[in-house]
Structure 1
Amino acid sequence: MLITDAELPDGRVRDVRAEDGRIADIAENLHSLPNEESVDATGLTLLPGAIDVHVHFREPGHEQKETWATGSRSAAAGGVTTVVDQPNTSPPTVDRERFDQKEAFAKNSLVNYGINGGVNADWKPDELLECPLFALGEVFLADSTGDMGIDAERFEAALAHAGEAAVPVTVHAEDADRFDESALEGNTGGTGRDADADCWSQYRTAEAEIAAVEDACEVARGAGANLHIAHTSTPEAVDIASDAGVSCEVTPHHLLLSRDDLDDLGTFGRMNPPLRTEGRRQALYERVADGTVDMIATDHAPHTVTEKETDLESAPSGVPGVETMLPLLLQEVREERLTLDRVCELVSEGPAERFGLDRKGRVVEGYDADLTLVDLDETEEIEGEALHSKCGWSPFEGREAVFPEITVVGGAVVYDGRAGDRFTAGLGENVRRNQ
């Protein structure tokens, strides 16, 4: 494949050739070879494909919400070329049999993928850790999430096993003992977008996250474990992780939405951790902009509209986001709140470096040809029904965003927005089998 006249993030205009799945040449005036696919990128900016280390593609068990086929199409249309799926599917990914089952579904993916193993009362550490896991996680700390929550003793054991196997541990850090049950007693009722969803933010307190992150970092320090904190929603938690030398991610919804948005979102804004105050959101944004936060990841957690249109306590937690992450961040670049270099660090270079994806995350010769082409002068409003996730809605409805024109995985175009949202057969591979 030859991409001609593309502007790189550093402002240079170059041609880029991909061969055998990798970037072979970056130069001026490269000539097309016989039978070589060519993409005219005049006026477009060429970025490294985004790496989303936190998605829930729901398969197996909840295919009405999402599948690997629909989730990966959504990823590709959003410029995401690698995703990492979490273990709390049904059945959860806690042993080799369930890992193999999930990987069989993942082979339908248009984009590259990793699979996180999980920890619960049924997990088989020796068996699971022999699999090519991306990480052990999302490990739920005393978090009221059904059969995936674990206590401190089991968490320490998981860290020890993972450390011996040189597997990172991704932690969902909320301390359920610090939830404020009285907040739900004040729920004024209502369903869907008319529900009083702010009660959920009052219930799952900021202190519950802050304390859990502090405890997780302390235990990991004692165990010498390789720890990563998922979806940090408070600036205090980010600071604790940073001071401990532990990496963390922030979601687009915690970065761009706050409790002020819950009047419009209702149950569609229920998530774990919940949205925080506008003051905390702004402080979180500052840490994203200044380099304290290591990466952005979506916690893409789709549910159907019908599932969300119920009362607050019955509605499932989570929002979709894999298709809108990069487009929303590029709009932040347009509005001069983030630099393009910083966005590339957050969604490409940062996750690749943190999780040992040595050939991903940069537009450099010898790196994997996982790329996305965008027109930074073209914006469009987000419409949930026009997105490619099976759930058909977005918490960012109506916001301006910069969507990719073309997405390339392994040197092949998998999504072409200029050709009417055309998808081609996926070349997705397990990134841990491909190291």
Structure 2
Amino acid sequence: MTTLLIKNASLVNEDQIFQSDLLIRDGKIAQIAPSIETAADRTIDATGKYLLPGMIDDQVHFREPGLTAKGTIASESKSAIAGGITSYMEMPNVNPQTTNLEALEAKYTRAAEVSYANYAFYLGATNDNIDEIRKLDKNQACGVKVFMGASTGNMLVNDKETLARIFAESPVLIATHCEDTPMIAELEAQYKAKYGDDVPMREHANIRSREACYKSSSMAVELAKTHGTKLHVLHLTTKEEMALFEPAPTLAELAKKQITAEACVHHLFFNADDYETLGSQIKCNPSVKEKSDQQALLQAVKDGLIDIIATDHAPHTWQEKQNSYFSAPSGVPLVQHALLSCLEFYHQGIFSLELVVQKTSHAPALRYELDRRGFIREGYWADLVLVDLAKPYTVTPDNTFYQCAWTPFEGYQFGSTVEMTILNGEVAFENGQHSEQRFAKRLDFDRQ
């Protein structure tokens, strides 16, 4: 462990922006003050730059084990660090699926060997693993993932009695993927009858329909209200779904919420018009929908109906994505450009910097009850990202780290640059280069 002194930074934390120095010692934030003159192993002059708590991404698919042609824990966490994401929570639809405690701990063991960012994993629900869910220690996993709609990995939980038991008995937060599979299957058949295999990608917005999303999301909310469940509804996409949630504009209000909502960066950044140029590159489940939905999501973030912004990072190979509609898999690589995407909304005057930090760092730390993460506070782990809001960054193949080697942002010029990512008090990424060392830790929870 080293000591690191950051001078003259503009700190963005807990609804404030203020100029300050910050001292890191033994992996944690030791002091925050207007002027710190203590000797340190390294001193960084951050004049003109902004220091944010690292983004905590509560929804990623890093494809290991079993799907490592698409990505690995190492490759995708390395990409995350380059984008200012310091902690991630990874999903269970891998091979073998993470649906028992042995598979869960195997992923933790693997991440300890190869991950570049802090890590936690979900236990996946199935129609027949309620006993494994009951055995889960509340500090062992970030949550239980329930696919209430079929998506990549075929982990659909569609038995109503099973869903009721999971919602009633899960010892930890439940995170749901909400789409009604029978409604989608019927629409797929209709579009296949009309177009054959050559369904235009633009129709993905209609096939993975708003009605299918609302039907499933409303069921999840009703189940949570019935059973008193801690529910987090992932990757919402429609303006209609916003009516299901209560606003929590402040962190104090968020801490009291039983049911929380999330939007993902691609649903905020893209809309159905973008299928024309990007096609299958933005094919994902649930689908990118209309511009009116995009605008409703952005407003919901501002109003506090959407509590967390995440990625649903889900890489596939370029070759897989070149297939026709029914064969091209759903999923988008996003972790390297997620925080930059959120900062674009600051540049456009839509979000404040304080709001970006609340939705990407503070809120996930609070919702998942992380131990000393997600805030710039003395005594907390020093997971930080230094950004230059005045330095544009153009996405090219040469500066993209995903194993799949493509991104829907290729050629886009962001208004900000991630200059440095600090993980557990160590510089993990700086000026486009990764440290040769890894500093990641297993995420701890503070759940009583």
* TM-score, scaled to structure 2: 0.90
Corresponding residue for 1:25?
31
Q: Look up the equivalent residue of 1:299 and give its one-letter code.
A: D
Q: The residue matched to 2:409 in structure 1 has which SS?
A: coil
Corresponding residue for 2:216?
212
Q: Aligned-pair distance for 1:134?
A: 0.5
Q: Aligned-pair distance for 1:366?
A: 2.0
Task: Give distance in 1, aligned partners of 2:34 and 2:271.
Answer: 45
Corresponding residue for 2:162?
154
| Alpha-carbon displacement from aligned partner over 1:28-77 (angstroms, at most 9, x marks no partner) | 3312425x232221221111111000000111111111111111111110
Tell whether the 8 Å contact from 1:186 to 1:199 is kept in structure 2 after alignment. no
| Alpha-carbon displacement from aligned partner over 1:216-265 (angstroms, at most 9, x marks no partner) | 11111111111000100112213213379520110111111111000111
Tell whether the 8 Å contact from 2:58 to 2:90 is kept in structure 1 after alignment. yes
Task: Give distance in 1, aligned partners of 2:445 and 2:18.
Answer: 34
Corresponding residue for 1:337?
350
Relative distance call for 1:339 and 1:78 in structure 2 (3 A) is same
Gaps of 5+ in 1: none
Q: Tell me whether 51-60 or 144-153 shows the greater mean CA deviation.
A: 144-153
Q: Aligned-pair distance for 1:336?
A: 1.4
1:6 is the counterpart of 2:9: yes
Q: Aligned-pair distance for 1:143?
A: 2.2
Tell whether the 8 Å contact from 1:328 to 1:400 is kept in structure 2 after alignment. no
Q: Aligned-pair distance for 1:128?
A: 4.2
Q: Aligned-pair distance for 1:185?
A: 3.1
Q: Look up the equivalent residue of 2:43 and give its one-letter code.
A: S
Relative distance call for 1:279 and 1:104 in structure 2 (3 A) is same
Corresponding residue for 1:427?
439
Task: Give distance in 2, aligned partners of 1:288 and 1:279.
Answer: 14
Q: Aligned-pair distance for 1:328?
A: 1.3
Relative distance call for 1:258 and 1:316 in structure 2 (3 A) is same
Relative distance call for 1:133 and 1:275 in structure 2 (3 A) is same
| Alpha-carbon displacement from aligned partner over 1:180-230 (angstroms, at most 9, x marks no partner) | 23134333755xxxx721222211110101111111111111111110001
1:411 is the counterpart of 2:432: no
Corresponding residue for 2:363?
350
Q: The residue matched to 1:149 in structure 2 has which SS?
A: coil
Q: Once superposed, what is the RMSD of the aligned Cα atoms?
A: 2.0
**Identical-pair percentage:** 34
Relative distance call for 1:130 and 1:218 in structure 2 (3 A) is closer
Relative distance call for 1:221 and 1:302 in structure 2 (3 A) is same
Task: Give distance in 1, aligned partners of 2:275 and 2:46.
Answer: 40
Q: Look up the equivalent residue of 2:69 and give its one-letter code.
A: Q
Q: How does 1:175-214 map to 2 (within 5 A)?
A: 175-179=180-184, 180-181=187-188, 182-187=190-195, 196-214=200-218
Gaps of 5+ in 2: 248-256
Corresponding residue for 2:22?
16
Q: Aligned-pair distance for 1:131?
A: 6.8
Choose from 112, 117, 135 the match for 2:143.
135
Task: Give distance in 2, aligned partners of 1:416 and 1:424.
Answer: 11
Q: Tell me whether 73-82 or 356-365 shows the greater mean CA deviation.
A: 356-365
Q: Aligned-pair distance for 1:303?
A: 0.5
Task: Give distance in 2, aligned partners of 1:293 and 1:334.
Answer: 20
Q: The residue matched to 1:307 in structure 2 has which SS?
A: helix
Task: Give distance in 1, aligned partners of 2:394 and 2:363.
Answer: 28
Tell whether the 8 Å contact from 1:406 to 1:413 is kept in structure 2 after alignment. yes
Q: Look up the equivalent residue of 1:364 and give its one-letter code.
A: R
1:304 is the counterpart of 2:317: yes
Tell whether the 8 Å contact from 1:210 to 1:237 is kept in structure 2 after alignment. yes
Q: How does 1:383-422 map to 2 (within 5 A)?
A: 383-384=396-397, 386-401=399-414, 402-417=416-431, 420-422=432-434
Tell whether the 8 Å contact from 1:249 to 1:296 is kept in structure 2 after alignment. yes
Q: Tell me whether 313-322 or 179-188 shows the greater mean CA deviation.
A: 179-188
Number of positions where the alignment pairs a residue of Structure 1 with one of Structure 2: 424
Q: Aligned-pair distance for 1:307?
A: 1.1
Relative distance call for 1:247 and 1:16 in structure 2 (3 A) is same
